[in-house]
Structure 1
Amino acid sequence: MKFDGHIHSPYCPHGSSDQFEEYIERAVQLGMNEISFTEHAPLPKGFSDPTPDQDSGMDWEQLLPYIKDLKVLKEYNKKRIKINIGLEVDFIEGFEQETKELLDEIGGSLDDSILSVHFIKHEDSWLCIDFSEDLFYEISRMLGGVDEVHQQYYSTVKQSIHADLGKYKPTRIGHITLATKFQKKYPASRSFDSEVFNLLHLIHSKNYSLDYNGAGKVKPLCGETYPSEKFASYAAKLGIPLIYGSDAHTAKGLAQGFEGIAAAVEPSLNRVIR
């Protein structure tokens, strides 16, 4: 593996205190020649983080220092490793305009970006599906079952792919099967394969790429990458570029979940950035 395209940082409010330099040294030790820091972007102005810890995105006042720090490190380390300045941007139904405004403001400073869904809308509120297993259970009760969480999640991912977020819209779709994070404890009662396959066809039609996310592999209640091998293999056959990302929130987390990925998928990995 030469590239990890989904890495968090000390600016992550729910991550570790590991410094940028620790992530960079770990990447060099692993033989990587390129990495992307993709910190959680600030949540849209006017949106209230529904998680108990309210720590889903970096504070607005941290955005410019984050970019400034990475510019310095990018230049300093350029002979050892290529460092991309990026963000993981949340798609939040109903806040498309605010997200577009953020991207219009900051997009020119980015080398890389990911568009992810963590929040689903229910009536007049938003719910974070991956905060904890207990909260996932409460959300499933609120919506009427685990199947309804999956259905709403995949519907929201579809909206994110179609959304007009301006010229800086991220064209890599993040952890497309995140709804499976707690599947060993809270499994769906039916298959959602058709929904995922349809999303892959939509991604292909848009010429977008796919975050091949290793974090799910190390989550004890998930046990597989986002997306799983069968979907990743299908995406590769469609010609969708698969961008491996560890989704690391610690320096030691770099390259997590990479071992054992399908051999059929490897030729499609890291074909493009953004």
Structure 2
Amino acid sequence: MKDGHIHTPYCPHGSKDSLENYIENAVKAGYSALTFTEHAPLPASFTDPAPAGDSSMDIKDLENYLADLNQLQKKYQNDLTILKGLEVDYIEGYEKEITSFLETYGPELDDSILSVHFLKGGRAWYCIDYSPDMFKEAAEDFGSVEALYHSYYETLSQSVITPLGTYKPKRIGHMTLVRKFQELYPGPENWQAYASRFLTLAKEHGFELDYNGAGTKKPHCKETYPPLAIAREASSMGIPLIYGSDAHTASALKQGWDTVDQSLVKPWRR
């Protein structure tokens, strides 16, 4: 079993559970491999729209993060495979800075994720998964929930087709994150058409998908990212699905695993 999406104490909106706590829990849970994918530092010229400015790791912590993982790879090499990674944000208009970052740190990484959390409206930038209030504000700015979904999938598509250099991640994180508050703000009836078109693009460009269990634990979502029908559609197209707990605490490892269709998950081989 591999978990390809795990956060760490370097996450300012996560827990302070130690890296070793995560690893020991993973061993107990029967993991064969895991990827630590801390939120990569945001471009210096981008202002984090989260009120606390806590969406990502501080650039000053990045070298320590990588050094810690190098040490732990050696310490636990007989127990499980530990991969060094980052969850990199695609932010429209900041492609040059993202590419420069990846060219600098990409050679040190084993496995990473490319995600969309931030959308630019007419009035402001929004972190669409931050809170129901921010999602509502974003939908009002875009004109409707449907317009917000449209922008999300347009931006997600741009993340796939935009050149970001040699070390661009090849796995898309939580491709239905826009549905985090779907019980409060239901998606448009045609939202699955957006998702299906995106899958075609992901397949054409050779991307994997993060089959993410975190949404099952979100009180207004209660489904995996992506939900079962979309996951099965992706699998039928030959798109690899990599399970991700998206854990922000050590106890959250394996979250949603009992909800995902495990037959769709790409098996891990050492």
TM-score when scaled to structure 2? 0.97
Q: Which runs of 5+ in 2 are unaligned?
A: none
The residue number in structure 1 matching 2:24 is 25
C-alpha contact 2:126 2:134 (8 A) present in aligned 1: no
Partner SS state of residue 23, structure 1: helix
Partner SS state of residue 221, structure 1: coil
| Pairs aligned (count) | 270
The residue number in structure 2 matching 1:119 is 118
Q: CA RMSD in A?
A: 1.4
The residue number in structure 2 matching 1:43 is 42
Identify the range of structure 1 (120-129 vs 163-172) with the bigger mean alpha-carbon deviation: 120-129
Deviation of 1:268 after TM superposition, in Å, equals 4.2
| Distance (Å, rounded) in 2 between the aligned partners of 1:171 and 1:127 | 25
Identify the range of structure 1 (20-29 vs 183-192) with the bigger mean alpha-carbon deviation: 183-192
Q: Which runs of 5+ in 1 are unaligned?
A: none
The residue number in structure 2 matching 1:218 is 217
| Distance (Å, rounded) in 2 between the aligned partners of 1:268 and 1:246 | 13
Deviation of 1:255 after TM superposition, in Å, equals 0.6
Deviation of 1:262 after TM superposition, in Å, equals 2.4
Deviation of 1:218 after TM superposition, in Å, equals 1.0
| Distance (Å, rounded) in 1 between the aligned partners of 2:267 and 2:56 | 26
Deviations 1:172-216 (A, max 9, x none): 011000000000011124221111001111111111100001001
Deviation of 1:260 after TM superposition, in Å, equals 2.8
The residue number in structure 1 matching 2:3 is 4
Partner SS state of residue 252, structure 1: helix
Task: Please tell me whether residue 269 in structure 1 is matched to residue 266 in structure 2.
Answer: yes
C-alpha contact 1:114 1:172 (8 A) present in aligned 2: yes
| Distance (Å, rounded) in 1 between the aligned partners of 2:224 and 2:153 | 16
Partner SS state of residue 87, structure 1: strand
C-alpha contact 2:213 2:259 (8 A) present in aligned 1: no
| Distance (Å, rounded) in 2 between the aligned partners of 1:182 and 1:223 | 9
Identify the range of structure 1 (144-153 vs 210-219) with the bigger mean alpha-carbon deviation: 144-153
TM-score when scaled to structure 1? 0.95
The residue number in structure 2 matching 1:105 is 104
Partner SS state of residue 219, structure 2: coil
Partner SS state of residue 184, structure 2: coil
Q: Which runs of 4+ in 1 moved over 3 A?
A: 270-273
| Distance (Å, rounded) in 2 between the aligned partners of 1:49 and 1:270 | 36
The residue number in structure 1 matching 2:87 is 88
Partner SS state of residue 107, structure 1: helix
| Distance (Å, rounded) in 2 between the aligned partners of 1:61 and 1:141 | 36
Partner SS state of residue 112, structure 2: strand
